[in-house]
Structure 1
Amino acid sequence: MAALRQNATSRYRNTSMSTGSAHRKRWLAAAAVALVALAVMGIARLRGPVLPGYDVQAGPLVQNVVATGRVAAASRVQVGPEITGLVLERRVMDGDRVAPGDVLVVLRARDLEAHRDQARAALAALRQAERPDAEARLRQARAQLAQAERDHARRRELGQRQLVARESVEQAAQAVVAARAAAEQARLAVGALAGGGAREAQAREELAATEATLARAVIRATVAGTVLTRGVEPGDTVRPGDVLLEIAADAPGEILLPVDEKNIARLRVGQRATCIADAFPGRAFAATVHHIAPAVDPARGTVDVRLRIDPKAGFVRQDMTVTATLLTGERERALAVPNDALLDARDGSDRATVLLVRDGRVRRTAVTLGLRGLAMSEVTAGLREGDRVLAASALDADALPADGDRVRIEAQMLPASDSATRRELPVKFN
């Protein structure tokens, strides 16, 4: 029995020693882990917090201006009547092509036709009746003058021989004067009625005027172009001032863009643009800035910019909504940083501040800006390629580190670009 108790006691002591040893090992392991964690935390605290930032890179850079406008005709011609009349025919429809002289609308004008017929009759009467009658009166007047001259000659001879009274000779002389005046008057009348004379010229002018007025009843195209709208149908009565048709004159197509006035400095005549119509989102086409309005619309605070469309874009239609991306700046090689890395960057100013991180410490650094956009901006002075900057604008003002603070950067992706080698700086006007 004693031996059995001794063996049991020995086993109990061995078990107790084993359990204590295990507890000590676990405690030591936990202590080691805690020490390691404290060491890591201490090192991390010494290295500073992890903050978002960017690597400054150099490469080709473009700046774009994005705006939305509409396709506009360079010239729109409103066609209206010059006289009052009833519409007999409308010979064109929306979308029809017209050339100068093409008949668009025909009016009925009975009163003008009557005036024309009256003028024609007057000219015919002058040629066929008045002129022959005047020529006959001229012949008669000349014959009467000849007779009066002969009678005067006989009486004068008789008076010299004192066979007739002097009074009779004087009367014959007066008859000659009267006959000569009548002959001259008849001659002038024939001259006025002769071909090319004053009366015929007047009759011809009156006829031409009535025909010209009547010609206004046929409304013709004055320019080559495309019919945009029509506002008349056969049977309508129209008056001067009514708009019957609207024609877009043939000219290079244009896009009218209203641009915020604060962005005028970015624009130049001749800048290239890539355009996409809402109706054809998969068919981009080219355009060029060819006019910038000299004045700003005070109500909207915008300036009108006109783009000339590439003639190859034959699918573009009037009044289509178009989004235009204008190339306003380009660099073959430039440093660029995202805009959320800039502090104190004001519109119209080329100065800003960045939080530069070198050797793990923050340095507040002044930079000079070049091309600027909504996503990124060019840095022309103050940074070099390979520098690292904090995304300062993404941090709370209270969380901004001070000069000399230790920080670590968690690199962020740069704003999306249009290709692997070109970064765009989109600037949206409106």
Structure 2
Amino acid sequence: MKRTCLAGAFAALMSISTAFAEHDAIAVEYVTAVEQDMVATIELTGSIEARDSVDLGFRQSGRVIEVLVEEGDHVARDQPLARLDSVQQEQGRKVAEASLAAARAALAQARQASDRAEAMLSRGVGTRAARDAAAQALSEAQGAVERAESALEQANRAVSDTVLVAPDDAVVTARNIAPGQIVGAAQPVLSLAELEGLEAVFQSADLPLLDKAMGTQVRLEAIDFDMPAMTGTVTEISPLVDPQLGTVAVRAEIDNGDGAIELLGAAVRGHMRISTSSGVLVPWTALTRHGDGAAVWLVEGEQTRLVPVEISNFGDKGVFLSAGVEAGQVVVGAGSQLLYPGRGVHQATVLP
């Protein structure tokens, strides 16, 4: 009799609990978990440089007598930029010209002597030895003319090398000489930037994410001045760490940067978004605590079940999960903080 009473009481209690749960069902947000790429944001600082630049120097040492350009000047191809004192080179050219004239005169005489010796031999009044000697003298005279022509060519080149000219249309970005200064051969004296193409150069820590940055679009913004909105594309990542700075160089070619020479040297900040891997995305509101870890409420019909999850990453739009929930499953978003085991739910038309 006692056992029958207890069974009846338990059945009544379960009936009341079920009725209470059904009566206590709340409206919550249903969210379908989706698989998305996880995107990391990297922010770098750097400066704008010319995509193609060159340091110029004279081919020979000497004293600078004239500098024809200033920093910021636009120059055309083959335009003179600076000059060295060319007195010695001019004297050398005059000596070479005189030597060539003398060698040509000697050649003319040797040719006449050779022709005369050949004619005398053909008439039988000359000797083979005389003809051979005249031919040898002619050959030596021809060699002397060739050497004199080569010497004059070198003298002309030495004179032209006293004038530094622009290799292409460009803008002067640095000037390191002044009239009266003594410069060495190949010493950089002027820096030029070509007018076509700019790039943003950043110094970054050696981040693992950089391995996936090639071809990534970079949004650029100026640090200390107003600049129109610009974007670029990562074209080069240095494979080696700079031993002095401890960073790697990242270069991004600026889209439509042709002709914007006034931006050279400007400090900029670059923003990159790099896809790292994929995960199951759920909203922030779906997360709840379960013991020492995280969990979400999984919707199963009109009931919910608390499921432990592993968080892989945090994003702007929600939380990426690596375990616990699969793409396509429905979880509770807004309203999850009001749930407890066994409480009924239904989809809300207005978010709680």
CA RMSD in angstroms comes to 4.2
Whole-Å separation in 1 of the counterparts to 2:262 and 2:211: 27
Of residues 92, 95, 100, the one that matches 1:115 is 92
Whole-Å separation in 1 of the counterparts to 2:332 and 2:135: 109
Residue 77 (structure 2) pairs with residue 100 (structure 1): yes
Of residues 219, 235, 241, the one that matches 2:164 is 219
1:203-282 paired onto structure 2 within 5 Å: 203-264=148-209, 267-281=212-226
Whole-Å separation in 1 of the counterparts to 2:288 and 2:207: 23
- How many residue pairs are counted as aligned between the two chains? 295
Secondary structure of the residue that 1:184 maps to in structure 2? helix
Residue 345 (structure 2) pairs with residue 369 (structure 1): no
More helix by share: 1
Of residues 185, 188, 206, the one that matches 2:136 is 188
Whole-Å separation in 1 of the counterparts to 2:267 and 2:196: 19
For the Cα contact (< 8 Å) 1:134–1:189, is it kept in 2? yes
Map of 2:321 onto structure 1: 379
Secondary structure of the residue that 1:294 maps to in structure 2? coil
Structure whose CA Rg is larger: 1
CA spacing shift, 1:181–1:336, aligned 2, 3 Å: farther
Whole-Å separation in 1 of the counterparts to 2:272 and 2:30: 26
Whole-Å separation in 1 of the counterparts to 2:172 and 2:73: 5
Q: CA deviation at 1:137?
A: 3.7
Map of 2:61 onto structure 1: 84
Map of 2:7 onto structure 1: none
TM-score (norm 1): 0.57
Q: Deviations over 1:116-169 (max 9, x none)?
A: 111111111222x3134324544664687689x56xxxxxxxxxxxxxxxxxxx
For the Cα contact (< 8 Å) 1:192–1:199, is it kept in 2? yes
Secondary structure of the residue that 2:320 maps to in structure 1? strand
% same residue: 23
TM-score (norm 2): 0.68
Q: Which amino acid is the alignment partner of residue 319 of structure 1?
A: G
Map of 1:294 onto structure 2: 239
Map of 2:284 onto structure 1: 337
Task: Detail structure 1 runs of 4+ shifted over 4 Å in the superposition.
Answer: 55-63, 139-147, 297-301, 340-343, 355-359, 361-364, 372-377, 388-391
Q: Deviations over 1:392-416 (max 9, x none)?
A: xxxxxxxxxxxx99xxxxxxxxxxx
Map of 2:266 onto structure 1: 320
Secondary structure of the residue that 1:70 maps to in structure 2? strand
Secondary structure of the residue that 1:255 maps to in structure 2? strand
- Name stretches of at least 5 consecutive residues in structure 2 with no aligned partner: 1-28, 342-352
Q: Deviations over 1:318-340 (max 9, x none)?
A: 22211111122499x943439x9
For the Cα contact (< 8 Å) 2:81–2:164, is it kept in 1? yes
Whole-Å separation in 1 of the counterparts to 2:241 and 2:165: 38
Secondary structure of the residue that 1:287 maps to in structure 2? strand
Q: Which amino acid is the alignment partner of residue 273 of structure 1?
A: V
Residue 294 (structure 2) pairs with residue 354 (structure 1): yes
- Name stretches of at least 5 consecutive residues in structure 1 with no aligned partner: 1-54, 151-175, 344-351, 392-403, 406-430
